[in-house]
Homo-oligomer: A and B are copies of this chain.
């Protein structure tokens, strides 16, 4: 559902000097010299332990973060402490974009496993972007892509039944892994069932049953957190007629 368009990987330069995944985020389409200037913003990568928060709702916006290794979930939390997962993030994806709105983070980002991020000082990024049109353009696109992604999620929440949501979720993950050079047919879920459930607007039990349904139809093979997609086309068809009542 998210990021329906693949990033233009073939347009990339070596990218952000030594980083192996940043080539998938900000520097798309920038020249080597430009990327080197972007490089100066990134003071030092750092690690985040599994379960730890990279930032929390209300924290002042200092940096955006590019995931280098590992994975994160972002969630908004209500007054009474319950959470809605708003996204999962794998290497090459950017965290913290919603903080630009009010100069403070509007959600909390938790590491799903031991992870590593590149902080990108935002004030400096904005400043640099003034002199690098392509950088500015990429930032705009990154922000806009997040909006498109969220609209797809709204479509999912408003119009799809539980099995379709699950299929869409798996397809989306598959696609994102594929872009990053991992297998699109075999991967590992780093999040728990209840986190998938929150993300998709369902209970964890419903996720389990959905998995069973997809398995019964021979579409996937899921054991614990290991996923094997057996019928990609079948999954896609499931999402294509993406309404409660196909009639």
Contacts and interface: CB of A to CB of B under 8 A. Distances in A.
A126 B97 contact: no
Given A101-B141, A126-B133, A133-B126, A78 B242 contact: yes
Interface stretch (A30-38, A154-162, A209-217): A154-162
A240 B127 CA distance: 39
A148 B106 contact: yes
Nearest to A100: B144
B136 A97 contact: no
Main secondary structure of the interface of A (DSSP, over half): helix
Interface residues of A, number: 49
A143 B148 CA distance: 11
A114 to B, nearest CB: 26
B155 A153 contact: no
Contact of A155 (B76, B97, B141, B151): B76
A79 interface: yes
A167 to B, nearest CB: 14
Given A147-B97, A150-B147, A159 B86 contact: no
A7 B130 CA distance: 24
A17 interface: no
19 contacts: A5-B101, A5-B102, A79-B241, A80-B242, A80-B246, A84-B151, A84-B158, A98-B144, A100-B140, A100-B143, A102-B141, A129-B136, A130-B130, A130-B133, A140-B143, A147-B150, A153-B154, A154-B154, A159-B201
